[in-house]
Structure 1
Amino acid sequence: MKTTISEVLILEIPKVSDPRGNLAVIEKETIPFSFKRVYYLYDVPSDAYRGGHAHIQQQEFLVALSGSFDVILDDGNERIQITLNKPDKGLLIPVGIWRELDGFSSGSVCLVLASEEYDENDYIRDYSNFKLFKRS
């Protein structure tokens, strides 16, 4: 799997602003895949850690709906950290990228749009197996 960190993108989410507040819209043109599952993380303790896996087939789009959190991304050669803290920006994570989420602020909510329905066989949960997967 040759996916690299350079394929991870922060995408703008279209928004409409007026005196009553902002409205952000995610439609099929917003992200480059059709999503089959939507879930969100909330009430995550500030010292908790989420993620710790990569996907073989599933792409994901993460949005900080409220608060902030850090996403550590790893392609097997390069590791970066991105802080998500704006509800009009989302992080596109392609297949074959290891991700870890931590540093959740109080009241943060992480929305995830996933390209696939849940399938445990799509997860690589052991980092050494991830490294082997990246070499294949």
Structure 2
Amino acid sequence: MTLDDCRLIELPKISDPRGNLTFVEGNHHIPFDIKRTYYLYDVPGGSVRGSHAHRNLHQFIIAMSGSFDVVLSDGISDHRFHLNRSYYGLYVCPMMWRTLDNFSSGAVCMVLASAPYEEEDYIRDHDQFLREVLAP
């Protein structure tokens, strides 16, 4: 997979004067079955999260509140995505180095994942990531 496979996906938005509703269905709105959900919050100003890649995990990242940036790299090129709407999310395919930064005050980042937590799936060293992703 390449950086071109990662993309912003608009989710259904049901507008109502009492408040809007958005939902996500695995294998319908996003290209995988949801096996795990987690979220980041109370991120101090100037902090950077992520800074790793996954060998097999697919993820969908949503700014539930506030805003932040996700920088993705496939080892050749980088792309910065600004997330600031709860009805948009970023699909991240396996073998993408990701860094999350530029968190606004009160930002909440929710991540839907294709598998339970598995430490072996993480690549936490950027040089190791480059060796694996650029291997012939």
- Same topology, TM > 0.5: yes
Residue 105 of structure 2 is matched in structure 1 by 106
Distance in structure 1 (CA, Å) of the matches to 2:23 and 2:134: 38
Residue 32 of structure 2 is matched in structure 1 by 33
Residue 129 of structure 1 is matched in structure 2 by 128
User: Identity rate of aligned residues, in percent?
Assistant: 49
Unaligned runs of 5+ in 2: none
DSSP-derived class of the 2:20 partner: strand
Distance in structure 2 (CA, Å) of the matches to 1:135 and 1:52: 18
TM-score after normalising by structure 2: 0.96
- Give 1:9 deviation, angstroms: 0.8
* Matched residue type, 1:59: H
CA deviations 1:29-68 (Å, max 9, x no partner) are 1111001100000000121110000000100000000000
Distance in structure 1 (CA, Å) of the matches to 2:111 and 2:2: 20
Number of residues of Structure 1 aligned to a counterpart in Structure 2: 134
Q: How does 1:79-94 map to 2 (within 5 A)?
A: 79-94=78-93
Residue 43 of structure 1 is matched in structure 2 by 42
- Give 1:26 deviation, angstroms: 0.7
Unaligned runs of 5+ in 1: none
8 Å contact kept, 1:65–1:111: yes
* Matched residue type, 1:5: L
- RMSD between superposed Cα atoms in Å: 0.7
Residue 5 of structure 1 is matched in structure 2 by 3
- Give 1:4 deviation, angstroms: 1.4
8 Å contact kept, 1:74–1:80: yes
8 Å contact kept, 1:46–1:102: no
CA deviations 1:71-130 (Å, max 9, x no partner) are 011000001111100000000000010000011000000000000100000000000000
Distance in structure 2 (CA, Å) of the matches to 1:103 and 1:9: 19
